[in-house]
Structure 1
Amino acid sequence: MVLSHLLLVFIFFNISLLCVQCNPNYRDALSKSIIFFQGQRSGRLPPQEITWRASSGLSDGSLAGVDLTGGYYDAGDNVKFNFPMAYTTTMLSWSVIEYGKKLGPQLPATRAAIRWATDYLLKCARATPGRLYVGVGDPNADHKCWERPEDMDTVRTVYYVSPGNPGSDVAGETAAALAAASVVFKKVDPSYSRLLLATAKNMLQFAMQHRGSYSDSLGSNVCPFYCSYSGYTDELLWAAAWLFRATNQIYYLNIIKSVDGSDVTDIFSWDNKYAGARVLLARRSLVNKDETFGAYRQQAEEFMCRILPNSPSSTTQYTNGGLMYKMGSSNLQYVTSITFLLTTYSKYMASAKHTFNCGSLGVTSRTLRILAKRQVDYILGDNPMKMSYMVGYGANYPKRIHHRGSSLPSVRAQPERLGCEAGFQPYYYTSSPNPNELIGAIVGGPNQNDFFPDERGDYAHSEPTTYINAALVGPLAFFAGAS
């Protein structure tokens, strides 16, 4: 095991020569990562630190005769996609559950970020019996425009799933988000927590009774933007795992057993939840010493073995600079989500004084922690380009992110309306930095050669998303608390 530690240290810290005095300020990065969500808010805004944003989407839901104001825009566009929004909410809630004490003074702001989403998700789940609203805004029309959310003039079409047009994936993720948030608010707002939990139970029942993928029901209104590529079984498992965490009721354990399969994965994301569910369930085996959950511990560790770079069963690529590389587009979404699982499983292992093996490789909690720290440090600037991939953190960070509100003059600076196409010239195509900094935004990240062009039009690398940020809050808190 000592040898395995030395190998990890050698592989991932030999590039420390690139950054002789790197000393990431995790607390500063943590604070900024949460401020970011203010810039993504839809609805009527309260006073906030990101002052260049103003209220928007105040008639959302009116086309269906319901109030669907609030929630978050998913990325650099002006659409509210509930599938990734609910995942964002689940991950923020999991961060509070695991790292609440380490969040320190950022805990209230993190709760506020969660509640901005859950207030909206509750509206979506409760507005009309037999329907779950799953999005607002025609994505195809929206993506043809480059305009501020405050100026939106594209149709705010409302999308929903129902018994006749099912969406077990989005309903399952909504259930998971509300159940996880119910744990967050259980002590600080018991009545709100009970409402979240009751709605989560209804959402899982809805997802179970009316099975089908929302991609099939809604087609081009959600694809290719947020297709459910992995199907919906992972969301049923994820939702049941969170409801079991929130209630400890055997009913949800039976659902877990009925829907879990032997799906092998080396990914964790807004679309594929298998690894996250298994890590969550493995906690019962490690921390609570309940061998009923031993199979989930084994599956969680098999996942880790597919991530660790010197594991004989690793299926994960790394750049020369040490960054986990999963996909060419928005790669950091996978890095942050998987890093969350690394720190969280490391935490469980340390609590249980547990180790495991990947073939001949011995793995301890420290093994996972070293790898997680390498990913976080890379994002914060310890990389070949000396580039922080979090806006506003460090001396060198992206200045031309693919984000409408950031790239256009604020309505506070230029109140005259900018129409659908008015934002392209001169703002989209200029090489000038964005006029508004979206503090804390983490972009899609560099390519497989550790290169980042910082070009506004390169959305695959330059676009921030709520789910990239949400997954990094926990690891940042983990390392901030240890520093």
Structure 2
Amino acid sequence: MKKVLAAVLTTATIFSSTVVPSVNVSAATISSSDYAVAFKDSLWFYDANKCGPDVGKDNVFSWRSACHTNDGKFIGADLTGGFHDCGDHIKFGITNGYASSILGWSLYEFKDAYDGAGLTNKVLSTLKYFTDYIIKSRVSATKYYYHVGAPSDHEYWGPPEQQPGDRDKVYYVDPSSPASDVCGLYSGALSLMYLNYKEIDSTYANKCLELSKELYALGKNKGTCKADGFYTSTSGDDDMAWAAIWLYVIEKNNSYLTDINSLLSSPGTNWAICWNDMKLAAAYVIGSVTGQAKYKDAVTSNLNYWQNSIPKTPGGVKFLTEWGMLRYSASASMLALLQYKLTNDEKLKTFAKSQIDYILGNNPANMSYMVGFGNKWPQHPHHRAAQGSMGWGDWKSPAKNTLTGALVGGPDMSDNYTDVVDKFQATEVGIDYNAGLVAALAGMTKYYGNLPSVPPSNTKAPTPTPTKSANPTPTPTIKNDFILEDVNKDRAVNMADVIALASCFGKVRNDSSYKQECDINKDGSINMSDVMMIAQKFNYTY
């Protein structure tokens, strides 16, 4: 035992400097328990992209704190909050609206998975950070801000906390400057927040519903958002149909169905759910709620296309397009699992599993394309905060901070991945990328994750009140919400956890001295992989 303890302590000391292990993870190590771990990590990613004075609250990343606290000041408005778009710091309405819509939808459809994984409070806290930002962006019933930041933001390479100057470029929607795409996405996100939050805080939920209807009315002025060429939206009709169906779900007012049939007369598409195409998301909900054949058929046709017509790499992942290709595989998997929920068609579940398993490591590179998962993952995600350095001189070095849960763009058609910061197609991450992944992993956790029959107790969800100062120490949402690396449950990851793990080092499941809490990665064996996970959060408190 002394020899084992010495080896473990030495390893922890070496890895406490956040050196990332480079041991290949075998595809065979992806087990049912891994889905819940990946689910948790994918949701945690959003903490890395928080913006505003309250970044440090309920944040799992100690390297993130208050930033951009003067957003909107130059026009006399408080536009702080919300989420940075990708590895940059611009806040785009279309990706904030898309991500909050998809995350809210995933909770609505797979709440049992969130409950079973102990993630309900965390997702509600994340969703409220989105909706708080939407609410404060309101000027009047006919004017909302939705964009903060200029293209010149991309010239800065460094953490958002140290970005100099105030951001003096904003866009807003009003009748003369329409943005029906953002209005529809914001409306849908607020309606879903009403549905997910009404039993927790009815006052806040009702406010969300009120503004959802307001934004829907504003979105009837047709036009697409301004985004300085970064996001060129082709239409807002699909987004408005998305908004309309959720308002119908809540109010059962047939006028919304009338609008939908005009907005989404042709719901079919050979693409995937994404920030620029909400046809299938809307069609799925419309078809499941109303039973109308053309919407149900659109979903069926698209999933058949994904399974049978889209080319796949030699490793088996579907390749829709080069830029950020894994986000599309993730959102297609999300839709397949939602359709499985309705139809029990095993082929859909099998398809989703093949795509998600590829993302998690069942691929020719034997690496996870989600940062921090497994033992091998991308070391150069395109993300300024994770990079942790100031200036372009160090921008090609490995990231100093582990961007846990971030889905990178992915490999090329030949399964080759270029782990270079400026290879944007491959290494970019984004709040829109992870939205479909979180939802898909919720489904995978539900159907493959061996969730406990009695889920963890989730009491009243957090309702943080925005303040003018940030607390850099993450605050737990509920007392029993411990992170996996905290083996002894003292809300700190340190030598005490390494020592606790050493007591059952080398044991496997069914051994008499095997302890589930020491099997951090839940692969059925307590070994160096678990030590490495502790090392990644060494000296972390929460």
Provide TM-score, normalisation by structure 2: 0.74
CA distances 1:186-224 after superposition (whole Å, capped 9, x unpaired): 21221111111110111011111x21122xxx3xxx143
For residue 385 of structure 2, what is the aligned residue in structure 1? 405
Is the alpha carbon distance of 1:275 and 1:243 closer, same or farther for their aligned partners in structure 2, counting shifts above 3 Å? same
Instruction: Tell whether the 8 Å contact from 1:30 to 1:476 is kept in structure 2 after alignment.
Output: yes
Matched residue type, 1:61: G
For residue 470 of structure 1, what is the aligned residue in structure 2? 435
Aligned pairs (5 A) from 1:359-438: 365-409=345-389, 418=390, 423-425=391-393, 427-430=394-397, 433-438=398-403
Matched residue type, 2:77: V
Matched residue type, 2:85: D
Aligned pairs (5 A) from 1:211-250: 211-214=222-225, 218=226, 222-228=227-233, 230-250=234-254
For residue 19 of structure 1, what is the aligned residue in structure 2? 27
Matched residue type, 2:235: G
CA separation in 2, counterparts of 1:344 and 1:56? 37
Instruction: Tell whether the 8 Å contact from 2:371 to 2:402 is kept in structure 1 after alignment.
Output: yes
Q: Does 1:204 align with 2:216?
A: yes
Instruction: Tell whether the 8 Å contact from 2:70 to 2:166 is kept in structure 1 after alignment.
Output: no
How much has 1:264 moved relative to structure 2? 3.3
CA separation in 1, counterparts of 2:119 and 2:213? 29
Instruction: Tell whether the 8 Å contact from 1:98 to 1:474 is kept in structure 2 after alignment.
Output: no
CA distances 1:283-310 after superposition (whole Å, capped 9, x unpaired): 12xxxxx54x22211222122222122x
For residue 511 of structure 2, what is the aligned residue in structure 1? none
Of all paired residues, the percent bearing the same amino acid is 30
CA separation in 1, counterparts of 2:136 and 2:30? 45
Among residues 270, 283, 287, which one is paired with 1:282 in the alignment?
287
For residue 28 of structure 1, what is the aligned residue in structure 2? 37
Aligned pairs (5 A) from 1:73-472: 73-104=84-115, 105-124=118-137, 126-138=138-150, 140-153=151-164, 155-156=166-167, 157-208=169-220, 210-214=221-225, 218=226, 222-228=227-233, 230-267=234-271, 268-284=273-289, 291=291, 293-309=292-308, 314=309, 316-350=310-344, 365-409=345-389, 418=390, 423-425=391-393, 427-430=394-397, 433-472=398-437
CA separation in 1, counterparts of 2:183 and 2:29? 47
Runs of 4+ in 1 over 4 A off after TM superposition: none
Instruction: Tell whether the 8 Å contact from 1:141 to 1:155 is kept in structure 2 after alignment.
Output: no
How much has 1:227 moved relative to structure 2? 1.2
Q: Which runs of 5+ in 1 are unaligned?
A: 1-17, 285-289, 351-364, 410-417
Instruction: Tell whether the 8 Å contact from 2:268 to 2:299 is kept in structure 1 after alignment.
Output: no
Instruction: Tell whether the 8 Å contact from 2:327 to 2:409 is kept in structure 1 after alignment.
Output: yes
CA distances 1:112-160 after superposition (whole Å, capped 9, x unpaired): 1111101001112x2345212111111x101122121112225511211
CA distances 1:17-39 after superposition (whole Å, capped 9, x unpaired): x8345426011111111111111
**Residues matched between the structures, number:** 416
Instruction: Tell whether the 8 Å contact from 1:63 to 1:158 is kept in structure 2 after alignment.
Output: no
Instruction: Tell whether the 8 Å contact from 1:31 to 1:106 is kept in structure 2 after alignment.
Output: yes
CA distances 1:384-408 after superposition (whole Å, capped 9, x unpaired): 1011011111000011111001112
How much has 1:263 moved relative to structure 2? 4.9
Matched residue type, 2:130: A
CA separation in 1, counterparts of 2:143 and 2:268? 33
Instruction: Tell whether the 8 Å contact from 1:142 to 1:154 is kept in structure 2 after alignment.
Output: no
CA distances 1:154-180 after superposition (whole Å, capped 9, x unpaired): 551121122111111111111111112
Is the alpha carbon distance of 1:98 and 1:263 closer, same or farther for their aligned partners in structure 2, counting shifts above 3 Å? closer
Q: Does 1:479 align with 2:444?
A: yes
CA separation in 2, counterparts of 1:52 and 1:165? 38
Instruction: Tell whether the 8 Å contact from 1:399 to 1:454 is kept in structure 2 after alignment.
Output: yes
- Per mean C-alpha deviation after superposition, the further-off stretch among 169-178 and 367-376 is 169-178
Question: SS of 1:127's equivalent?
Answer: strand
Matched residue type, 1:97: Y
Higher relative contact order (CA 8 A, sep 6+): 2
Q: Does 1:41 align with 2:41?
A: no
Question: SS of 1:318's equivalent?
Answer: coil
Instruction: Tell whether the 8 Å contact from 1:34 to 1:473 is kept in structure 2 after alignment.
Output: yes
Provide TM-score, normalisation by structure 1: 0.83
Matched residue type, 1:69: T
Instruction: Tell whether the 8 Å contact from 1:141 to 1:154 is kept in structure 2 after alignment.
Output: no
Across the aligned residues of Structure 1 and Structure 2, the Cα RMSD in angstroms comes to 1.6
How much has 1:376 moved relative to structure 2? 0.8
How much has 1:258 moved relative to structure 2? 2.0
CA separation in 2, counterparts of 1:154 and 1:170? 27
CA separation in 2, counterparts of 1:150 and 1:247? 43
CA separation in 1, counterparts of 2:385 and 2:276? 26
Q: Which runs of 5+ in 2 are unaligned?
A: 1-25, 450-542
CA separation in 2, counterparts of 1:144 and 1:80? 16
